[in-house]
Every structure is written in C-alpha cells, then in structure tokens.
C-alpha cells in the first residue's frame, strides 16, 4: 500500500535510502506489542478466551514501526496507554434511581441450552464408539471436544484440530490457521454433521510452509492442501501462496550469494597484488635466515672437530655413566661424513641391543630422526651373530660377577640359587658357523653315557637372585632327555655353588 509505505518511510530514521516495496523487510522488534497479532483467539462457551500461537506474527491495521533499540532513545516513540475514563454520575438523576434488581428468567434460553447439551452428549458418546481415521485422537478440554490429527505416527505435534463446542459450533484449525473449506459446516446438530466434518478435514493435508525457519509460512497461507484435488503429489504438500513465497526466498538467497561471491572476488583482486609482494619479501627473509643458520651450524661443526679429545672427555666425565656412551657416540658420528664408516664401542652396542629388544619402533624412531647415533638393524644383527650361546657353565659370566662383587657391600652379595626345568619340543639342527649339531643332550661333564647323541626335550636353567636389589643373573642352561636325575642335579648344583663362592657371592638357599 503506497500510503502505508509513506508512513513507514517517515517513521524509520534512515537518511541513506528509503524502503523499497517488495524487497526490504522490518522485523517485529520495531513494533509495539499493541500493534502485533501473535495468537488466534477463540471465545469459549464459558466466556474464556482460548489462544493458539501463530507461526507468523501479523500486524494490525495502520501499524507503524516505532521502536529502534540500536538507535538513540529519542528516536523511539513509546505509546502510552490511556487510563480508563472515570465514571461520573449525575446526582440529580441518581435521586430517582430505585435500588431494586428485578429477577429475569428466560425459559427459552434454558430450554435451548438443555437441547444443545443433550445433542452434544449424544454426539460425544457416538464419537467414542466410532473408529476414527489413522493418527487421530479425541479428547475433552473443559466442555469442548477436541479432535486432532498427528502429522505422522512418530510425530507428537498435531497439525489439524476440530474444536466441537458445547453450543454445537465447530471450529477447524489446520497448521494453526482457521480454515473454511467448501462443505464445512459451522454447526453440528447430529452425528452425521460431525462425521462429514471429520471426513472433510481428514482429506486436507497440512501445508508444509516455505521450509525456512525465519519465514516458516506466508502471512496469507491457507494452512492446507486438498489431497482429493487431481494431480496432487506428496511433493506438492505446499499451498500456492507458500510455494511462491518459497520461490521468492530462494531467489533472494541466490542473488545474495552471487553478490557475496562478487564482493569476495573484488577483495581478492585488491589484496592479491599486495599479498604477492608481502609473500615474496617474507620468502626472501626466510631464505636469508636459513643461509645464516647453515653457516652458523658449519662453524659449530668445525669448532667441535677442532676441539681436542681430552677437553671433550673431561666434559663427558661430568655426565652420568648411562649418558657418557651416548655422547661419545654422537661426537664420533659428527666427525664422519659418511655414517657407514662409523665404529661403535662394545658397551654402546649392548645398550643399542637392549633398546631394540624393548621396542623396535622406538629404536627406528631415534635412528631415523638422528636423535642418537645408533647403528642400523643389520649392523646389530652382525654383532648379535658373534655372541655364541653355549650349554653348561661359562667362565666369562663368573668373571663378570667377580668384578661386580668387588664394588658391592657384603650384605648385597647374599642370595639364593634358583633352578627350573621346562619341557621343550625335540629339534635337531646343524650350525654352519660352528659346524656343530644343536639339539642333542648336553649336561656338560655329567652327561650319562646312554643319553649321549639323544635328542633333548627338557631344559634346566640356573639363576642367582640376591636378597637385596632388583637384579638377577642367569648362570647356566643344560639340555637333557627327560627330567635330570637327582645324581646329576646334585653335582650341577654343587659346582654352581662353588663357582659363585669363588666369584665373591654367597648362596644361602
């Protein structure tokens, strides 16, 4: 309406441009509460007013925006509600008023109310005994009957409602909109009338609206789509008005996205030239920094290589013993250009073997990232291949125990001798390196004559564990045919105790 548009332009304090019909919108925050229609109001039989909230808020006639919360307060005009006028009485006229209240009793109104109540009760009882359409429920709210339809089986919100009042009047709501369909009655005096109304409403499909949260449906939406109408499919459950409204919203979104894309492209073009220059300068600075750092690293390498071995060794001695071998290996690797020519100490090889046994992934991580100077897996394999394991007592083990006992307190050198036997599967193999056959009975000097050259199937292991301390030491292993006899076992234990006593350790059990 041009007149309403003119009033709105005068009321809205904008100096940059005016409102455009059909394009610009004003939200409900800029209107006073008295100018908005938020509910469907229905007067009930008892005089109360039933309210159903609208999906879209409507404006009253001649409503003009008057609230502007983001602008100075003097631009918003608040409507002041007038107080009701004071009732004034004419004193001269009141002298002639007789304070009497005549009783009136309208027999016709009482008779009509009784007839309506009987008809309403009869229809209510018939509805309870009637099979209603699917997804339909019936309930009673105060004196009125409520017949509703759920949108689907899993939905908890009903889309269609018939309110049958006690005065035999009918109101139909579809999608919270009062509808008036051809053939729909305003009053129902018998069961046939209400049954016809239910059939008509059952054939109505609630309008799906526009499908957008901000504008769920058009202000002029009918609220329903007639399913009986030919050429109506499930995708058409949207009235023509809402379909047009949806198309307009989609067009506006498409136009706004195109404009937004164009603005972004313009900004990219404006920033591209300056951004390329900044990136070029940044790369030049980083390259210069990398060159300087490389030169610094080269100088440090030269200094490390020229430092005498005695100075480095004096500094390494200050470190814990577990770190000294690692630092020596790192300095030795730093002096070589090719890691293939590196040589490692025996103690460092032992540490590397232990790390690999505990976790191969950790070992590979430390070696590939060059965190420590570790030999490759093949090099470790070559060292391990040189370690020959043998049955019986090895003198090297007891020599190491003797060295360890020299730096231990007497109380730490007392412990117990542990022995255990386990069943093994018989297996004989020829070792190409030692040219010996493995898997035959080997009890050292105590091997019985009848078990020589027999396949062993039991292993006897001896181990020493001190009373104090968390370390243990495997002493010997023997291979026998079946469980070792008591005579052989007695001799082996006596020899083991003697060797331990010579090494400085005491066996108490």
Average pLDDT, the chain: 78
pTM of the model: 0.35
Please write the tens of the pLDDT for every residue from 416-431: 999 999 998 888 888 7
Judge residue 460's burial from the number of C-beta atoms within 10 Å of its C-beta, 0-12 exposed, 13-18 middle, 19 or more buried.
Answer: buried
Angle, to 10 degrees, between the axis of helix 309-316 and the axis of helix 321-334? Answer: 150
Residue 285 pLDDT > 90: yes
Provide the pLDDT for residue 228: 55
pLDDT for 436 equals 82
- Coil/strand/helix, residue 492: helix
Label residue 95 by pLDDT band (50, 70, 90): very low
- Retrieve residue 122's tokens: 């009869």
Q: In this predicted model, what pLDDT tens digit does every residue of 147-173 receive, in sequence order? A: 777 765 545 456 777 787 777 788 788
Segment 102-120, tens digit of pLDDT: 444 455 566 667 777 777 7
Question: 210 and 242 in contact (C-beta within 8 Å)?
Answer: yes
Mean pLDDT of 209-221: 75
| Burial of 146 from C-beta contacts in 10 A (0-12 / 13-18 / 19+) | middle
The token pair at 469 is: 């301390």
Tens-digit pLDDT profile for residues 176-190: 777 777 667 677 777
> Which residues, at least 6 apart from 64, have a Cβ–Cβ distance to it below 8 Å?
7, 8, 11, 35
| Helix spans in 359-462 (H) | 360-368, 377-386, 395-406
Would you state the pLDDT for residue 99? 43
Per-residue pLDDT at 372:
87
Rounded to whole angstroms, what are the CA distances from 123 to 135, 169, 184, 201?
21, 13, 17, 18
- Mean pLDDT is lowest, of 360-369, 389-398, 492-501, for 389-398
Q: Is the pLDDT of residue 354 over 80?
A: yes
Task: Give the Cα separation of 438 and 456 in Å (integer).
Answer: 10
pLDDT mean over 383-394:
80
Query: Which helix (DSSP H) or strand (DSSP E) does residue 126 occupy?
Result: helix 107-128
Cα distance between residue 351 and residue 348, in whole Å: 5
Q: What is the pLDDT of residue 292?
A: 94
CB-CB contact of 334 with 312 (8 Å): no
**Whole-angstrom Cα distance, residue 257 to residue 466?**
81
pLDDT tens sequence across 5-22: 888 887 777 766 777 777
Provide the percentage of residues in the chain whose pLDDT is more than 90: 11
What pLDDT, on a 0 to 100 scale, did the predictor assign at position 466?
93
The residues, ordered by sequence, that sit 6+ positions from 246 with a Cβ below 8 Å of its Cβ are 210, 211, 212, 238
Closest CA to 477 of 491, 492, 498: 492
Give the pLDDT confidence score for residue 85 in this predicted structure.
60
Q: Would the pLDDT of 70 be above 70?
A: no
User: In this model, does residue 293 exceed pLDDT 90?
Assistant: yes
Q: Which class for 164: exposed (0-12), middle (13-18), buried (19 or more C-beta within 10 A)? A: buried
Asked if 474 contacts 460 with a C-beta cutoff of 8 angstroms, the reply is: no
Q: Is pLDDT at 98 greater than 50 in this prediction?
A: no
């Amino acid at each position: 309406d041009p007149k309403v548009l003119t009033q709105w332009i005068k009321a809205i304090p904008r100096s940059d441009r005016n409102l455009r019909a059909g394009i610009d919108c004003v939200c409900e925050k800029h209107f006073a509460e008295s100018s908005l229609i938020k509910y469907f109001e229905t007067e009930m039989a008892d005089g109360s007013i039933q309210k159903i909230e609208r999906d879209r808020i409507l404006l009253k006639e001649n409503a003009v925006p008057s609230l502007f919360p983001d602008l100075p307060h003097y631009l918003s005009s608040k409507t002041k509600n007038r107080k009701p006028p004071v009732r004034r009485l004419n004193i001269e006229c009141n002298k002639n008023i007789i304070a009497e209240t005549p009783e009136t009793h309208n027999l016709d109104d009482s008779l009509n109310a009784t007839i309506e109540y009987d008809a309403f009760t009869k229809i209510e009882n018939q509805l309870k005994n009637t099979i209603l359409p699917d997804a339909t429920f019936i309930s009673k709210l105060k004196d009125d009957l409520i017949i509703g339809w759920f949108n689907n089986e899993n939905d908890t919100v009903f889309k269609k409602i018939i309110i049958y009042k006690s005065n035999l009047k009918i109101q139909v709501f579809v999608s919270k909109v009062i509808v008036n369909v051809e053939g729909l009655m305003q009053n129902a005096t018998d069961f046939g009338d209400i049954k016809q109304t239910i059939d008509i409403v059952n054939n109505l499909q609630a309008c799906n609206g526009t499908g957008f949260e901000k504008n769920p449906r058009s202000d002029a939406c009918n609220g329903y789509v007639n399913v009986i109408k030919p050429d109506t499919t499930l995708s058409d459950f949207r009235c023509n008005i809402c379909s047009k409204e949806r198309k307009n919203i989609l067009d506006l979104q498409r136009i706004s996205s195109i404009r937004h894309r164009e603005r972004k492209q313009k900004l990219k073009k404006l920033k591209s030239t300056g951004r390329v220059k900044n990136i070029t300068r940044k790369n030049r600075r980083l390259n210069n920094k990398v060159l300087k750092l490389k030169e610094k690293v080269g100088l440090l390498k030269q200094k490390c290589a020229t430092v005498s071995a005695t100075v480095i060794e004096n500094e390494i001695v200050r470190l814990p013993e577990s770190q000294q071998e690692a630092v020596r290996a790192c300095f030795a690797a730093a002096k070589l250009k090719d890691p293939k020519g590196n040589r490692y100490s025996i103690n460092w090889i032992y540490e590397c073997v232990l790390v690999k046994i505990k976790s191969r992934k950790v070992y590979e991580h430390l070696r590939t990232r060059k965190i420590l100077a570790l030999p490759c897996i093949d090099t470790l394999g070559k060292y391990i291949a040189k370690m020959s394991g043998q049955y019986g007592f090895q003198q090297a083990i007891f020599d190491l125990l003797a060295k360890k006992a020299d730096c231990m307190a007497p109380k730490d050198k007392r412990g117990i001798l542990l022995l255990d036997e386990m069943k093994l599967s018989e297996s004989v193999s020829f070792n190409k390196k030692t040219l010996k056959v493995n898997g035959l009975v080997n009890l050292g000097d105590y091997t019985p004559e009848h078990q020589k050259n027999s396949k062993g199937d039991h292993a006897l292991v001896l181990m020493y564990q001190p009373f104090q301390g968390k370390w243990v030491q495997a002493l010997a292993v023997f291979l026998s045919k079946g469980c070792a006899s008591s005579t052989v076992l007695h001799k082996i234990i006596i020899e083991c105790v003697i060797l331990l006593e010579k090494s400085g350790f005491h066996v108490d059990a």
